């Protein structure tokens, strides 16, 4: 798990050559390229990735929290090989394939409560778009309350409800004005669940004159790319109560948290809450572009029956290869009890990381739920000023020693660990050792107090904004940030 076991420097010569070729043919905004980043993957198995230079890496990202079963699991290979001999593309909304029906029935059996009817898509953002459209049809109201720090995708509807100005500002003239953002709990930074709920309730009581009346609440049960922020269970329960009181659709975005990642099948299960709509993706297939928005019959019946021309569909809806992979993935996930394993392994690893890293002056907190763990790095613990530069150095330093990880959070200062749910105790112990080595070898930042960071933050109606304004990253920050974290 260190460079001493690798065949070349990192990145190796083949990765560097490919980076130069990529620069000539891809938009420069897509892939971050520097002297030390990235490596180009050639193969992967289990928790391990091999790059084009023969170097091996332990993947602590699960390839954006997708490879929950590990990379290249035999059960999915068999499913692909069997399906590809029969049918690999169909006409999903005209002459459907049989395996699509099998998957929709499996999702009905898996989802909590009365969630039983689905819209299939290709990406997480598309599943969110399906949920937004469903809520609009079901309530007749276009407005949506999302949450600060939330990430829901890059398509225009999903981007409107995402709380990232660096993603939104370049396209502000084309984004809608129907979304507002409410505070999301963050115990480290003094944002309590009850205050968030009170703020939301006050806003809704005074929202009668809004140009876009509110019809839905869109929430991640736990924020993944937002920095692994984990509210107490009563927060989601409070949102369910508020949604009922104001006749709103409650949408749970479980693209990141769903299907075992948090130690339960779904993040909402920790709160015993059943939303009106639930979005899944990422781990659904363990690696094929497929997602779903699952709703109650009442919510989904807001859509008109098809008259031969669906008003929301796509060419690859219900792709048979993706459906076959999803069925195999769900069978494997349940048969191997990987959600239960994630709960046990994640709790042990979190304690190990807290012991190994918690005393470091730049580690503000090690937190997590299941195998979704965040390590928040700061310049100064009293002020909690985010240290995105240190996070970038740790990501790069770990890559040199054979670990793949990413930084998350709106400041990109939270090391985010979402490995395959099959990661072994030995692999986690080795990763902890390398993380500690890299972190303790990184130079400490100058201690500068930053006014306004940390401590109690004022909430209330002023905390709900049509356009969010998170603090900006320093211009020198070049820490790579993955699309899925």
CATH number at residue 385: 3.90.1150.10
Domain for residue 121, yes or no? yes
Name the token pair of 291: 């997602």
The list of the chain residues with pLDDT below 70 reads 1-8, 444-485
Same domain, 373 and 278: no
Question: Is 115 in a helix, a strand, or coil?
Answer: coil
Residues 315 and 347 in one domain: no
CB 326 within 8 A of CB 290: yes
What's the domain count of the chain? 2
In a domain, 482, yes or no: no
Residues 118 and 67 in one domain: no
Is 111 part of any domain?
yes
Measured CA to CA, the distance from residue 439 to residue 394 in angstroms comes to 6
b/e map of 230-249 (b: 16 or more CB within 10 Å)? Answer: bbebebbbbbbebbeebebb
Which regions of 4-153 does DSSP assign to beta strands (E)?
Answer: 41-45, 48-51, 56-59, 117-121, 143-147
Residue 146 inside a domain? The answer is yes
* 102 and 7 assigned to the same domain: no
Can you name the residues that pair with 118 across neighbouring β-strands? 294
99 and 16 in a single domain? The answer is no
Using DSSP, state whether 8 is helix, strand or coil: coil
Domain residues for the domain of 244 are 74-335
pLDDT of residue 5: 59
Identify the burial level of 476 via C-beta atoms within 10 angstroms of its C-beta, where 0-12 means exposed, 13-18 middle and 19 or more buried. Answer: exposed
Same domain, 386 and 400: yes
| 456 within domain boundaries | no
> Which of helix, strand or coil describes residue 192?
coil
pLDDT digits (tens, 9 = 90+) for 139-174: 999 999 999 999 999 999 999 999 999 999 999 999
For residue 441, tell me if it sits in a domain: yes
222 in the same domain as 361: no
Give a yes or no: residue 235 inside a domain.
yes
Query: Is 457 a domain residue?
Result: no
pLDDT, tens only, 356-365:
999 999 999 9
Considering the domain architecture, whether residues 361 and 383 belong to the same structural domain is answered as yes
Q: What is the CATH number of the domain that holds 217?
A: 3.40.640.10
Is the same domain home to 180 and 254? yes
Same domain, 172 and 104: yes
Please tell me the predicted confidence (pLDDT) of residue 421: 98
DSSP character at residue 455: S
What is the rounded distance in angstroms from the CA atom of residue 483 to the CA atom of residue 41? 16
Secondary structure E strands in 323-417? 363-368, 373-380, 385-386, 403-404, 406-408, 414-417
Domain boundary among 335, 355, 371: 335
pLDDT tens-digit profile of 414-461?
999 999 999 999 999 999 999 999 999 987 665 433 333 333 333 433
Q: How many whole angstroms separate alpha carbon 379 and alpha carbon 392?
A: 13
Domain end (from 279, 313, 335): 335
How far are the Cα atoms of 128, 133, 136, 252, 338 from residue 259, in angstroms, in the given order?
17, 24, 27, 13, 9
Residue 50 shares a structural domain with residue 173: no
pTM: 0.91
Are 286 and 304 part of one and the same domain?
yes
Domain final residue, candidates 284, 307, 335:
335
**pLDDT given for residue 440 in this prediction:** 92
The pLDDT assigned to 461 comes to 30
Neighbours of 287 (CB within 10 A): 22
Prior bond of 38 cis (ω within 30°): yes
């Amino acid at each position: 798990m260190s460079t001493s076991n690798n065949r070349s420097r990192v990145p190796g010569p083949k990765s560097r050559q490919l980076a130069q070729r990529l620069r000539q043919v891809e938009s420069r905004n897509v892939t971050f390229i520097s002297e030390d980043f990235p490596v180009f993957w050639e193969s992967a198995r289990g928790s391990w990735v091999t790059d084009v230079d023969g170097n091996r890496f332990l993947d602590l990202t699960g390839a954006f929290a997708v490879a929950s079963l590990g990379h290249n699991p035999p059960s999915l290979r068999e499913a692909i090989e069997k399906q590809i001999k029969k049918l690999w593309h169909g006409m999903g909304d005209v002459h459907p394939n049989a395996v699509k029906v099998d998957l929709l029935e499996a999702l009905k059996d898996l989802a909590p409560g009365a969630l039983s009817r689905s819209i299939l898509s290709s990406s997480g953002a598309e599943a969110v778009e399906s949920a937004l459209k469903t809520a609009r049809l079901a309530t007749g109201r276009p407005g949506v309350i999302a949450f600060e720090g939330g990430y829901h995708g890059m398509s225009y509807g999903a981007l409107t409800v995402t709380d990232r100005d660096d993603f939104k500002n370049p396209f502000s003239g084309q984004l809608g004005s129907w979304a507002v953002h409410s505070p999301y709990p963050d115990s480290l930074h003094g944002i309590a669940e009850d205050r968030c709920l009170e703020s939301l309730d006050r806003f809704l009581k005074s929202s009668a004159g809004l140009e876009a009346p509110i019809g839905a609440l869109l929430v991640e049960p736990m924020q993944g790319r937002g920095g692994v922020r984990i509210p107490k269970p009563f927060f989601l329960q409070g949102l369910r109560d508020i949604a009922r009181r104001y006749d709103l659709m409650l949408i749970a975005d479980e693209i990141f948290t769903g299907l075992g990642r948090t130690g339960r099948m779904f993040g909402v299960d920790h709160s015993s809450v059943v939303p009106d709509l639930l979005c899944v993706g990422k781990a659904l297939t363990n690696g094929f572009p497929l997602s779903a928005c699952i709703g109650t019959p009442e919510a989904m019946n807001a859509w008109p029956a098809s008259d031969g021309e669906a008003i929301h569909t796509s060419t690859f809806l219900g792709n048979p290869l993706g459906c076959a992979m999803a069925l195999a993935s769900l069978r494997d996930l349940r048969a191997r009890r990987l959600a239960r394993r994630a709960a046990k392994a994640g709790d042990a690893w979190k304690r190990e990381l807290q012991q190994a890293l918690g005393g470091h002056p730049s580690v503000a907190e090690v937190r997590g739920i299941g195998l979704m763990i965040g390590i928040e790095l700061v310049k100064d613990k009293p002020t909690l000023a985010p240290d995105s530069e240190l996070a970038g150095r740790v990501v790069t330093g770990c890559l040199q020693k054979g670990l793949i990880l990413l930084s998350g959070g709106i400041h990109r200062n939270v090391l985010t660990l979402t490995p395959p749910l099959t990661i072994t105790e030995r692999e986690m112990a080795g990763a902890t050792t390398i993380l500690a080595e890299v972190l303790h070898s990184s130079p400490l930042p100058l201690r500068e107090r930053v006014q306004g960071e940390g401590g109690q933050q004022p909430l209330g109606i002023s905390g709900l904004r049509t356009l969010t304004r998170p603090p900006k990253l320093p211009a020198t920050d070049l820490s790579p940030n993955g699309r899925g974290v």
